[in-house]
Amino acid sequence: MKVLDYGEIITEGVEQLVSMLKKAHQPLIRRRLRFLLLLKQNKGMSRAAAAKKLGLLPSGAQDMWELYRNKGIEHFTTYPFKGRPSALNHEQKMWLQEELKKDSTSSLSAACQMVEEHTGVHYGVSSMHYVLECLGVKKKTGRPSHVDQQPHQAETFKKKTFPN
């Protein structure tokens, strides 16, 4: 039985794979790149042995190899789980951002009602939290103060500038 030399079949260099591994954040992509790196560096290592070193099943290694061979490194390093697209389009998001700048809403439930009245899209409170997070909106909170604070004592405690 002929042993494949994966070092020649994998077209990317070791340095390139290492740099891609350092930049990858998702565990799935990191595992895929480690798999390729193991095959590239260890001559004569089988896919099953590389899978065992990474804690994968041989069928998973076969799937990864087929993905790399058929679709290439670009598809191999793209994260497949992107999530659902937003129910609001770009114009509606811009409108919501402008409304929030006017400071007319004081809670997430008020923002949900405002969005539903204007756009007809229903959002729950937890979903609205993620929408506002994606827009870069943060909850405004006042600076905390002690309930037993006495303003006249706080005023005397503050630093004063005295003339020389």
What's the pLDDT tens digit per position in 9-43? 888 889 999 999 999 999 999 999 999 999 988 88
Could you tell me the residue range of the domain that residue 107 belongs to?
Answer: 90-135
Residues 21 and 65 occupy one common structural domain: yes
Residues contacting 134, CB < 8 A, separation 6+? 86
Note whether residue 145 is domain-resident.
no
Q: What pTM, to 2 d.p., does this model score?
A: 0.56
Residues 67 and 19 occupy one common structural domain: yes
Residue 15 region, left (φ>0) first, then alpha (ψ -120 to 50), else beta?
A: alpha
Note whether residue 85 is domain-resident.
no
Note whether residue 119 is domain-resident.
yes
pLDDT above 80: residue 72: yes
Residues 33 and 67 occupy one common structural domain: yes
Note whether residue 49 is domain-resident.
yes
